A and B are shown apart, each in its own frame.
Chain A
């Protein structure tokens, strides 16, 4: 054995050494259940996944974006002779004025002369009625039906691209909201039209640099009714009177904001609508003959003034078309549509203005605006109805072909039907064209039918919530939460006899039945329903079994326990946290809310202990109520020290919470807020002195992180052996941190200062992070390979013969007995020995048998690899963040340590004073603190639950030139986003180990007493206690994991409810839907890493088992 000087020092000061009896022969029969626990947890997590999948499948509609654009030279169908399709006719209009009045509901625009007592929103736009009655061939009012989601941004996308935007348009660049799909504004620009925009600044972010001239006004403040409108009015008329425009878009927000603020039934709405009436009048008065006026609302509003959903009140807006020239047939001459879908505006405007229809449009031209045949069109070569429809159909067909090659979400049978339809129509049209006859009206109707069918097919797959799926998802999620609670309440039942096989088999069978039924009925299977059936049936069966067997877990009167826990303060806090997810203000302020709740719950701990009289040593007065035995070995100073530790930890916790607030980012909803200065990468800091200061701070925190971890391991004697895990701790961890520090240094150097070294810098930018990645990966692999950090030392003879009584503990140095108490060595592993030895031999062992070996680091054999892995992971995640976040990560370490110590000292206080908490089980409070800390550090590492705040830079750490695939950058960004979730999930089992690790410092005797052993001076055996009672260990582990999963799962459930209930809320696509996405992904990441942490514990347990097996034959005589 190699004993370096370092180890020697450790020998003197290591306080965690276990000695084993040489006489061990028998092994305990009970073993820890490893596989069943992991399988159960995996199954529970899968249930959550299924619930999330079902709900998201019904709530978030996904559509692929086609990135192609139309152009004038396009030939829409192959082999179709006759020149380019778009731009073939003379454009009907040279110019257009588009007035968008946000939330102009159709009810606002209609005029009813008989109505003598109009409400504030009725009969306020008389200009429309006046124009329509005086010039019936110049104007029309239609009901303009929007597709859900009826929010402004989605609507603008809808009526410029002609498609049905969903919440997630895949292919969309999340970092900016610019529209990349082909759209009207783009086509107008291509055709050389000068587009002038004024109004809602959403347009500016959707179409950056696309306008000839743009006058955006801030749209964010919903309470501000006038800024945008007044801004437009100042510029609208001068612009119109000038000649520097072809298409003028003005987007008024006043009506919408008035609805949000006061509702439609309010005098302010009357004022606003009257103002709009005046605007329309003035604009009509300034129009010229070649100009088309479009007045439209982008969506409607409910009676309370909200929108976002799919009710008719929200979807039905007004569309008013007017031109000084005649464009419409006289009323009654033709059948005209009553309701115009919003997408139809796009092809209509495009063909009227003589530009190509945007590629992805699925709209249908508005026929009344086109002449029926060439006779009525006069001398000019305008497009007729049939021609316009034919071009429109070809364009839609082309889009459908392209889309169906990219995505498979349109059902194949309807696709083939549509294809057949189109080819039939195409041949009919060609036949008619060859004869030189105008196409028959039946063909026009058939083309219209085809376009409608395409739109309906697309809408069915893109733009409709599936309420049934949403409900099913919520039910599965809620049942999964109940399941988690039941598991955490009754782990013993599960560990003893719980079997997953029957529920799984029944679930799989039912899923098969559902699939077969679907196949028989519709000819295809929907995976989500099969999964839903599987999840729900297996869950219910499992709960039913648990309900039936709950009595068998405990014996006697306490046997029948309830499946659900009682409402206590931590659960109340969790309830508050979940309730806060239902309010947009609290979601916006989530970082502070989590900090506040965490702080409250932390402060609650000592208050609760004090209320139970456990914080201070009890005075031994006779009036003490009987029943609680004051422990004879209880020393007030121990209690006081523990209390002091507890309060210091609380101080550290509160301090780090307070400091962590300075690392938050800012949402756009938070007006007066500036993001933390540490969020920006160092290379962007201009002042060199400040940059150096930041760098030094970051490197210092990095060093502190590494040093703390190593110090901890050394303190508990885990750095003595020569195993791979120790190699990792000794070498890989520091080397990786050095790599990281160098990488920061290189990446933050300003490029211009070392121009000559640019190649070297480029190389370092690639090599250093990759080296760190591989070192950390190697470290984790080594830990998994051999997680043991135990060093065995053969016992030196006659070492402890000095004292009269055979000592139970032994200090390494000759310090005072009082100090020994605090720094004692957990030496003689009594319990284990007793279980190892036969009864008769035990007596002999007491007399002459000496413990044969001393094992350094056995007391922390479980937590050491976990802590090490935690540290390695933390370094890796830190690398993905900007340099300044090192401080935040150090705070995270501090806070995690404070939480662990808070938990351990409150446990030992409870134990010291005789309040038995039962087994190793971790109560709700620390678990909730731990879970809240994950949410809090999600925010304190600069993350926010919004898509623009994702730190894309993480994908380029070590890959400055970008990636070829998408998997690697996606996983890097995921790791970066959920780093707090990952760290706290992996560290979750530490909550179980920490009270045992810290037990040495005072809980020794008390615990022995509580454990029911009359023997005084029970040796501290730290985590070996867990091996003693594998059953309890398994229970506690299962309970801990299920509690942690429950807390996160309940938050997912709450945000799912928020999204479902508030799907018509103004903020649903800005706040609730992103929050749901982040919460759900956070849960997935958390559950995966909880399983990783648990698997690590199982791996260690296996290794320890093997180690004992190896050791005992060696040592036995």
Chain B
């Protein structure tokens, strides 16, 4: 079971990572003067959008989403609205506080955890992970945040590089952190598969 899950995770992560690369390369053919530094926001939107779409598709296909009790239309609508709200709020939070945009992360959190603040908070505690996906979420989010934090470090240096500007280096750091997390997560879970025990909900 665990092996199966890890394999699934590796392929899912590979798809997500490649979607980031595609999202970086594709706009070259559609947008004039596209570059990661010059048109940073466009790049960011493209990457976030593609990661969001890929995430939603993957998690929908894999069926990893929070259990839903009711299936009325109204409930679904309210869930969708709340999802959007939380997504916007999380973007704002990350933008304001962690000085970066970890959109990929927040959309992942939404996919795995659903719009429930309690679950979000619960997942990021030591004993909070309840499945392999939760653990992977912990790892990727932590590495994104750390990447963004480290991304702020070169800003004061006098190298005069175009990426040494506030949002660019942070979001680049976050993206690299996210990619690293995507690689580390399955490896780490594989390594620690004996120690990992998950409680049922």
Q: How far does the alpha carbon of A586 sit from the alpha carbon of B156 in the complex, in Å? A: 6
Nearest-neighbour CB distance to chain A for B13, whole angstroms, equals: 23
Q: For A600, what are the chain B residues with a Cβ–Cβ distance below 8 Å? A: 149
Q: Which of B121, B149, B156 contacts A616 (CB 8 A)?
A: B121
Contact B97 A654 (CB under 8 A): yes
A613-B157 in contact given A596-B152, A603-B97, A654-B97 (Cβ < 8 Å): no
Q: For B127, what are the chain A residues with a Cβ–Cβ distance below 8 Å? A: 613, 625
Q: For A588, what are the chain B residues with a Cβ–Cβ distance below 8 Å? A: 156
Q: For A583, what are the chain B residues with a Cβ–Cβ distance below 8 Å? A: 157
Cβ of B128 under 8 Å from chain A: yes
Please report whether the interface of chain A is mostly helix, strand, loop or mixed according to DSSP.
helix
Nearest B-chain residue to A592, judged by Cβ: B156
Q: How far does the alpha carbon of A583 sit from the alpha carbon of B149 in the complex, in Å? A: 19
Complex interface bits, A598-621 against B, C-beta within 8 A gives 1, otherwise 0: 001001000100111101100000
Q: For B163, what are the chain A residues with a Cβ–Cβ distance below 8 Å? A: none
Give chain B's interface residue range (CB within 8 Å of chain A).
10 to 19
A611-B156 in contact given A623-B199, A654-B97 (Cβ < 8 Å): no
Q: Which of A223, A589, A592, A610 contacts B125 (CB 8 A)?
A: A610
Q: For A607, what are the chain B residues with a Cβ–Cβ distance below 8 Å? A: 124
Centre residue among B97, B124, B156 by max chain A CB count within 10 A: B156
Cβ of A585 under 8 Å from chain B: yes
Nearest-neighbour CB distance to chain B for A556, whole angstroms, equals: 28
Q: For A223, what are the chain B residues with a Cβ–Cβ distance below 8 Å? A: 160
Cβ of A593 under 8 Å from chain B: yes
Q: For B156, what are the chain A residues with a Cβ–Cβ distance below 8 Å? A: 585-586, 588-589, 592-593
Nearest-neighbour CB distance to chain B for A789, whole angstroms, equals: 39
Cβ of B192 under 8 Å from chain A: no
Q: How far does the alpha carbon of A443 sit from the alpha carbon of B95 in the complex, in Å? A: 80
Contact B126 A613 (CB under 8 A): yes
Nearest-neighbour CB distance to chain A for B170, whole angstroms, equals: 11
Cβ of B32 under 8 Å from chain A: no
Cβ of B3 under 8 Å from chain A: no
Q: How far does the alpha carbon of A623 sit from the alpha carbon of B125 in the complex, in Å? A: 16
Q: For B126, what are the chain A residues with a Cβ–Cβ distance below 8 Å? A: 611-613
Q: How far does the alpha carbon of A592 sit from the alpha carbon of B149 in the complex, in Å? A: 14
Q: For A610, what are the chain B residues with a Cβ–Cβ distance below 8 Å? A: 121, 124-125
Q: How far does the alpha carbon of A877 sit from the alpha carbon of B158 in the complex, in Å? A: 35
Complex interface bits, A634-667 against B, C-beta within 8 A gives 1, otherwise 0: 0000000000000000000010000000000000
Q: For A589, what are the chain B residues with a Cβ–Cβ distance below 8 Å? A: 156
Q: How far does the alpha carbon of A596 sit from the alpha carbon of B199 in the complex, in Å? A: 38
A613-B128 in contact given A585-B158, A588-B156, A596-B152 (Cβ < 8 Å): yes
Nearest A-chain residue to B122, judged by Cβ: A616
Complex interface bits, B119-158 against A, C-beta within 8 A gives 1, otherwise 0: 0011011111000000000000000000001001000111
Complex interface bits, A538-567 against B, C-beta within 8 A gives 1, otherwise 0: 000000000000000000000000000000
Nearest A-chain residue to B149, judged by Cβ: A600
Q: For B122, what are the chain A residues with a Cβ–Cβ distance below 8 Å? A: 616
Contact A585 B157 (CB under 8 A): yes
Contact A612 B125 (CB under 8 A): yes
Q: Which of B97, B121, B149, B199 contacts A615 (CB 8 A)?
A: B121
Nearest-neighbour CB distance to chain A for B90, whole angstroms, equals: 15
> Quick one: which of B154-201 are within 8 Å of A by CB?
156-158, 160, 199
Q: How far does the alpha carbon of A904 sit from the alpha carbon of B184 in the complex, in Å? A: 36
Q: For A585, what are the chain B residues with a Cβ–Cβ distance below 8 Å? A: 156-158
Q: How far does the alpha carbon of A223 sit from the alpha carbon of B158 in the complex, in Å? A: 11
Nearest B-chain residue to A587, judged by Cβ: B156
Q: For B128, what are the chain A residues with a Cβ–Cβ distance below 8 Å? A: 613
Nearest B-chain residue to A623, judged by Cβ: B199
Q: How far does the alpha carbon of A616 sit from the alpha carbon of B116 in the complex, in Å? A: 14
Nearest B-chain residue to A589, judged by Cβ: B156
Nearest-neighbour CB distance to chain A for B31, whole angstroms, equals: 29
Q: How far does the alpha carbon of A223 sit from the alpha carbon of B118 in the complex, in Å? A: 54
Q: How far does the alpha carbon of A404 sit from the alpha carbon of B199 in the complex, in Å? A: 83
Nearest-neighbour CB distance to chain B for A702, whole angstroms, equals: 30
Complex interface bits, A348-375 against B, C-beta within 8 A gives 1, otherwise 0: 0000000000000000000000000000
Q: For A603, what are the chain B residues with a Cβ–Cβ distance below 8 Å? A: 97-98
Q: For A584, what are the chain B residues with a Cβ–Cβ distance below 8 Å? A: 158
Q: For B160, what are the chain A residues with a Cβ–Cβ distance below 8 Å? A: 223
Q: How far does the alpha carbon of A654 sit from the alpha carbon of B93 in the complex, in Å? A: 12
Q: For A615, what are the chain B residues with a Cβ–Cβ distance below 8 Å? A: 121, 125
Q: How far does the alpha carbon of A654 sit from the alpha carbon of B121 in the complex, in Å? A: 21
Q: For B118, what are the chain A residues with a Cβ–Cβ distance below 8 Å? A: 616
Q: How far does the alpha carbon of A596 sit from the alpha carbon of B149 in the complex, in Å? A: 10
Q: How far does the alpha carbon of A723 sit from the alpha carbon of B124 in the complex, in Å? A: 52
Q: For A596, what are the chain B residues with a Cβ–Cβ distance below 8 Å? A: 152
Q: How far does the alpha carbon of A223 sit from the alpha carbon of B159 in the complex, in Å? A: 11
Q: How far does the alpha carbon of A585 sit from the alpha carbon of B156 in the complex, in Å? A: 6
Nearest-neighbour CB distance to chain A for B150, whole angstroms, equals: 10
Contact B125 A611 (CB under 8 A): yes
Q: For A592, what are the chain B residues with a Cβ–Cβ distance below 8 Å? A: 156
Q: For B199, what are the chain A residues with a Cβ–Cβ distance below 8 Å? A: 623
Q: How far does the alpha carbon of A615 sit from the alpha carbon of B118 in the complex, in Å? A: 11
Centre residue among B118, B125, B128, B157 by max chain A CB count within 10 A: B125
Complex interface bits, A977-994 against B, C-beta within 8 A gives 1, otherwise 0: 000000000000000000
Nearest-neighbour CB distance to chain B for A657, whole angstroms, equals: 11
Q: How far does the alpha carbon of A612 sit from the alpha carbon of B126 in the complex, in Å? A: 6
Q: For B121, what are the chain A residues with a Cβ–Cβ distance below 8 Å? A: 610, 615-616
Contact B149 A611 (CB under 8 A): no
Q: How far does the alpha carbon of A612 sit from the alpha carbon of B122 in the complex, in Å? A: 10
Q: How far does the alpha carbon of A607 sit from the alpha carbon of B138 in the complex, in Å? A: 12
Nearest-neighbour CB distance to chain B for A646, whole angstroms, equals: 13
> Quick one: which of B84-123 are within 8 Å of A by CB?
97-98, 118, 121-122
Nearest-neighbour CB distance to chain A for B125, whole angstroms, equals: 4
Nearest-neighbour CB distance to chain B for A282, whole angstroms, equals: 34
Nearest-neighbour CB distance to chain B for A788, whole angstroms, equals: 43
Q: How far does the alpha carbon of A1009 sit from the alpha carbon of B121 in the complex, in Å? A: 27
Q: For B97, what are the chain A residues with a Cβ–Cβ distance below 8 Å? A: 603, 654
Centre residue among A585, A600, A612 by max chain B CB count within 10 A: A585
> Quick one: which of B36-55 are within 8 Å of A by CB?
none
Nearest B-chain residue to A624, judged by Cβ: B127
Q: How far does the alpha carbon of A612 sit from the alpha carbon of B128 in the complex, in Å? A: 10
Q: For B152, what are the chain A residues with a Cβ–Cβ distance below 8 Å? A: 596
Q: How far does the alpha carbon of A586 sit from the alpha carbon of B128 in the complex, in Å? A: 38
A613-B158 in contact given A596-B152, A600-B149, A603-B97 (Cβ < 8 Å): no
Nearest A-chain residue to B160, judged by Cβ: A223
Nearest B-chain residue to A609, judged by Cβ: B125
Nearest-neighbour CB distance to chain B for A1072, whole angstroms, equals: 15
Nearest-neighbour CB distance to chain B for A656, whole angstroms, equals: 14
Q: How far does the alpha carbon of A842 sit from the alpha carbon of B98 in the complex, in Å? A: 57
Q: How far does the alpha carbon of A623 sit from the alpha carbon of B199 in the complex, in Å? A: 8
Nearest-neighbour CB distance to chain B for A386, whole angstroms, equals: 54
Q: How far does the alpha carbon of A615 sit from the alpha carbon of B117 in the complex, in Å? A: 13
Nearest A-chain residue to B159, judged by Cβ: A585
Q: How far does the alpha carbon of A318 sit from the alpha carbon of B100 in the complex, in Å? A: 53
Nearest A-chain residue to B200, judged by Cβ: A623
Q: How far does the alpha carbon of A610 sit from the alpha carbon of B119 in the complex, in Å? A: 12
Nearest-neighbour CB distance to chain B for A961, whole angstroms, equals: 43
Q: How far does the alpha carbon of A610 sit from the alpha carbon of B149 in the complex, in Å? A: 19
List 7 tightest A-B contacts by C-beta distance, closest first.
A589-B156, A613-B125, A585-B157, A585-B156, A585-B158, A611-B125, A610-B125
Given contacts A585-B158, A600-B149, A613-B128, 6 further A-B contacts (CB under 8 A): A223-B160, A612-B125, A615-B121, A616-B121, A623-B199, A625-B127
Interface positions of B (Cβ within 8 A of A): 97-98, 118, 121-122, 124-128, 149, 152, 156-158, 160, 199
Interface positions of A (Cβ within 8 A of B): 223, 583-586, 588-589, 592-593, 596, 600, 603, 607, 610-613, 615-616, 623, 625, 654
What are 21 sample pairs from A and B whose C-beta atoms fall under 8 A apart? A223-B160, A583-B157, A584-B158, A585-B158, A586-B156, A586-B157, A588-B156, A589-B156, A593-B156, A600-B149, A603-B98, A607-B124, A610-B121, A611-B124, A612-B125, A613-B127, A616-B118, A616-B121, A616-B122, A623-B199, A654-B97
